[in-house]
Amino acid sequence: MSKNVASFLNKLDKLSENTIEVFVPSLKKKVSVKPLNLKQQKDLISSVLDGLKGTLDFSKTLNKIIISNSGINDLKIYDKIPFVVVMRKNALGSKTSTVDLNKVIDNFKTVPFEIKDEKVIKHKDLKLTLKVPTLRQENSLLSKCEQEISADQDQLKEGVGKLYIYELLKYIDSVQVEDDTIELNEVKISERVKLVEKLPLSVYSEVSKFIETINKYNSDLLTVDDKEVSIDVEFFDTSIDD
Partner 1 sequence: MDLSFILPNKKEVMVKEILYKDLRMLSLYRDSGMTGVIKFLESFILTKNLNIIEKLYAFFIIREKCIGEKIAVGSNKGNVNIDTLYIKNNIGLFDDINEVIEIENIKCTFNYPSRFNLGNTDFIFSLIESLEIDNDKIILSNLNEEEYLEVISKLPESIYSHIESFVEKNKAHFDILILEAREKFNIEEIRVNLLSTSFPSFIIRMFDCISDTTYREMIFLLAKRIPDVNFLSNCTYLEIEDYYKLYSDETQKQNENLQKENIS
Residues forming contacts to partner 1 in the complex (CB under 8 A) are 1-2, 4-5, 7-9, 11-13, 15-16, 35-43, 45-46, 91, 238-239, 241
Residues 6+ apart with CB under 8 A from 172: 128, 129, 130, 184, 192, 196, 207
Q: Which is nearer to partner 1, 67 or 132 (CB)?
A: 67
Q: Which is nearer to partner 1, 13 or 114 (CB)?
A: 13
Residues 6+ apart with CB under 8 A from 178: 125
- Write down the least CB distance from residue 45 to partner 1, Å: 8
- Write down the least CB distance from residue 88 to partner 1, Å: 10
Please work out, in degrees rounded to the nearest 5, the angle formed at the alpha carbon of residue 77 by the alpha carbons of 75 and 79.
60
- Write down the least CB distance from residue 47 to partner 1, Å: 9
Please work out, in degrees rounded to the nearest 5, the angle formed at the alpha carbon of residue 237 by the alpha carbons of 20 and 74.
45
- Write down the least CB distance from residue 101 to partner 1, Å: 16
Q: Which helix (H) or strand (E) holds 21?
A: strand 20-24
**Buried/exposed 146-180: b ≥16 CB within 10 Å, e otherwise:** bebbeeebeeeeebeebbebbbbbbbbbbbbeeee
- Write down the least CB distance from residue 238 to partner 1, Å: 4
Q: Which is nearer to partner 1, 5 or 201 (CB)?
A: 5
Amino acid at the residue 171: Y
